[in-house]
Chain A
């Protein structure tokens, strides 16, 4: 706490941050009550790009809703594909061929790496370093090219189907991915030397924005935010889904609770994702990539179903309520950044404005996912 805070606070003013501000990564607005450079209270204002995806889920058929899913999170779109098909497959009792599950894991993990790369570039740019963004986007371009060739789109993939994936991976994709993994490992070394070990970065984000374990629990924070606060929680290990139990990978956990810890978690996760992709390519079984009789019309039995997957930003959840017809009765998205951002108001109290922006960057916000 600063001397400023103990003084009379009759000289406070309200600062409006956003909704069009580069540091808010999209259209997020934050109302800040300021005492000079110090934040007394912060209130995020949401809803600028609210599209009511949950209502759309109710007035489309199950399969028609599939292209909606990647629009929620344009950075880790395939995880949103995955949770929706997994939820419907669970509800309707559809078995997925093993090869399809492997392809799903490979593409989801590639997508996770690309998502972390965007975060890495944007986060360091928030702090004033422009160069890493260019390097990170260069690497990401390779992933986008691979996925574009496979799926036909660069950001909003709609690649998974009920009972498999829309097309098989070919030798080009496999070779390209192997080359990419080799390249990425070299680049990670460079990032460590260029950014992670950089004294300016360390001074800036070490001990910045502490988020305690208890705070994570009370606000429901998950993903790298929770793992940077000494919570060993990863849905891929905690509630294994798909074929993740087949792979050997670690869950990076740091106990410092600061922005540096969250930074380290994501950087380590890139390496773990590469490990998973490598093993999946190695073990890739033969067989169909899509059920020969993949259902075009699904009618899950009455009841409600929950599905969770680990998205790049944390535990993504989905609850579907079916009334046994061709349309969903109720569809709920539990988006990880919604919960992660909700703790921002409490966490940034008493911080300097530039430090609060560093904290916000370390939360890795994707606004379309919060506003839904």
Chain B
């Protein structure tokens, strides 16, 4: 199978994790997590396997780390409280509470599909929210040009090496990114 070959080639790239997804519940069948440095390599393999590009978009995960931390802290506190109640001891402070909050991230999602094989493929790359940048793939897929411009419009994600990263759907002088979760109109 073409896709098995692709999967094998993708696992050879550093920092890539693959996950098979149940198509019936999620609507896509393969999830590829990659690092910003290796996105070109990943997309080259996908191109070699004959996939076509569906779309590129972003997701702003503002507040995700705080939510994760809160969840972990709550769990630790609950565990400590349970321990205290059981042993009648002084409740100790949760030890694993991390002092510094990690920076929130933005996710860039690439969707690929194949004209003949049944394999809808999603590539995810995470970049730090304060400095969202990663290489452009428009040299491999010229169709990515517009999708990347749109993603830059909406999220302010910079695609390094893009030939023409100017607003596509927003006004030509716009300096705001409406899909950021902290955007105020």
A residues in contact (CB < 8 Å) with B:
46-47, 50, 52, 54-55, 58, 87, 90, 216-222, 226, 231-233, 238-239, 303-308, 315, 317, 319, 321, 329-330, 332, 334, 338-339, 342-343, 346, 371-372
Contacts and interface: CB of A to CB of B under 8 A. Distances in A.
A342 B171 contact: no
Dominant secondary structure of chain A at its interface with chain B? mixed
B6 interface: no
A123 to B, nearest CB: 24
B118 A317 contact: no
Nearest to B27: A306
Interface range, B side: 20 to 34
Interface of B: 25-28, 50-55, 57, 59-60, 109, 111, 113, 115-116, 118, 120, 122, 141-143, 145-146, 154, 167-171, 178-179
Contacts of B145: 342
Given A46-B169, A342-B145, 20 more contacts: A46-B168, A47-B169, A47-B171, A54-B154, A90-B25, A217-B52, A218-B53, A218-B143, A219-B141, A220-B53, A220-B54, A222-B52, A233-B116, A305-B26, A305-B27, A317-B111, A332-B57, A339-B143, A342-B143, A343-B143
A90 B120 CA distance: 16
Contacts of B171: 47
Nearest to A339: B143
Contact of A47 (B57, B60, B115, B170): B170
B169 A218 contact: no
Contacts of B27: 87, 90, 305-308
B109 A319 contact: yes
Contacts of A338: 146
Contacts, number: 100
B118 A218 contact: no
15 contacts: A54-B154, A87-B27, A217-B51, A219-B142, A220-B141, A232-B115, A238-B115, A305-B27, A306-B26, A306-B27, A306-B122, A307-B27, A339-B53, A342-B145, A342-B146
B111 A217 contact: no
Given A306-B27, A343-B143, A52 B178 contact: yes
A369 to B, nearest CB: 12
Contacts of A217: 50-52, 115
Nearest to B57: A332
Nearest to A341: B146
Nearest to A222: B52
A50 B178 CA distance: 12
Contacts of B168: 46-47
A218 B142 contact: yes
A-B pairs with lowest CB-CB distance, top 10: A306-B27, A219-B143, A334-B55, A47-B169, A220-B53, A217-B52, A50-B169, A233-B115, A332-B57, A306-B28
Contact of A306 (B59, B111, B142): B111
A255 B134 CA distance: 38
A321 B115 CA distance: 25
Name, among B111, B122, B169, the residue most crowded by chain A CB atoms within 10 Å (CB to CB).
Answer: B169
Contacts of A54: 154, 179
B118 A239 contact: yes
Nearest to B53: A220
B26 A47 contact: no
Given A52-B178, A342-B146, A216 B52 contact: yes
A372 B120 CA distance: 24
Nearest to A51: B169
Contact of A315 (B25, B60, B113): B113
A319 B111 contact: yes
B105 to A, nearest CB: 14
A343 B141 CA distance: 11
A44 B171 CA distance: 14
B170 A50 contact: yes
Name, among A231, A305, A319, A372, the residue most crowded by chain B CB atoms within 10 Å (CB to CB).
Answer: A319
Contacts of A50: 169-170
Given A317-B55, A342-B143, A342-B146, A334 B111 contact: yes
Contacts of B146: 338, 342
B13 to A, nearest CB: 22
Nearest to A235: B113
Contacts of B50: 217
Contacts of A330: 59-60, 179
Nearest to A321: B59
A57 B141 CA distance: 29
A239 B120 contact: yes
B115 A231 contact: yes
A309 B145 CA distance: 24
A92 to B, nearest CB: 11
Contacts of A219: 53, 141-143
Contacts of A304: 26, 59
A220 B109 CA distance: 16
Contacts of B122: 306
A222 B115 CA distance: 9
